[in-house]
Amino acid sequence: MSSTPNPALYQLNRALSRDLVIAELEAMPGRLRRALHGKGDALLTRRASGEDWSAFQTLCHMRDATLVYAARFRWIVFDDDPLLPNYNENNWVAASMDVPSDVPAILDEIAASRADLVRVLSRLPEAGWLRTGRHEVAGTVVLEHYARHQVAHEEMHLAQIEAALA
């Protein structure tokens, strides 16, 4: 079980322009690399409590979410009001066959996916930010709000990783 709060609570506590939202999304792979640099397996897999994810499990979730959100964003940009499927984040983390020695590869996956997303978002016209999708659980989402949600989601999980490694 994760220590993830209700996704409806992922709100930015500061105002960001669209350019800054893109910059935050672009910066996250580097922030993750710095947070995880030189950390050993024991520290990466340590849990603060029996229900919290370890830093490694949180990283795996962030990779999964990066890939899922990137696909959802692309559907919103390239399709008209697409259905955005949900996924069970706890099942994905539990079923992961990744091990701590995979951290560099996981970070590379996040960086590659994010570079593609940043390229797509940075070229959007004004109207593109207002495109919508129909999330299977959350209902109608607007791309701009959903991108801000992703920034808040990642900040929350980066803080979770940093706390687990402290």
Structural domain contains residue 3? no
Structural domain contains residue 45? yes
Residue at token pair 């607007």: 142
16 has pLDDT over 50: yes
Sheet strand arrangement including 83-84: 83-84, 132-135, 139-142
Q: How many domains does the chain have?
A: 1
Structural domain contains residue 1? no
Angle (deg, nearest 10), helices 103-122 and 18-36: 170
Q: For residue 83, give the DSSP letter.
A: E
Structural domain contains residue 6? no
30 has pLDDT over 80: yes
45 has pLDDT over 50: yes
Structural domain contains residue 123? yes
Average pLDDT of the chain is: 90
> pLDDT digit string (tens) for 60-86?
999 999 999 999 999 999 999 999 999
Structural domain contains residue 114? yes
pLDDT on residue 58: 95
pLDDT on residue 15: 74
11 has pLDDT over 60: no
Structural domain contains residue 62? yes
> pLDDT digit string (tens) for 126-150?
999 999 999 999 999 999 999 999 9
pLDDT on residue 10: 52
Record the pTM: 0.89
8 has pLDDT over 60: no
Structural domain contains residue 7? no
Print the domain residue range for 75: 13-159
31 has pLDDT over 90: yes
d(CA 25, CA 66): 10
pLDDT on residue 12: 55
Domain of residue 93, CATH code:
1.20.120.450
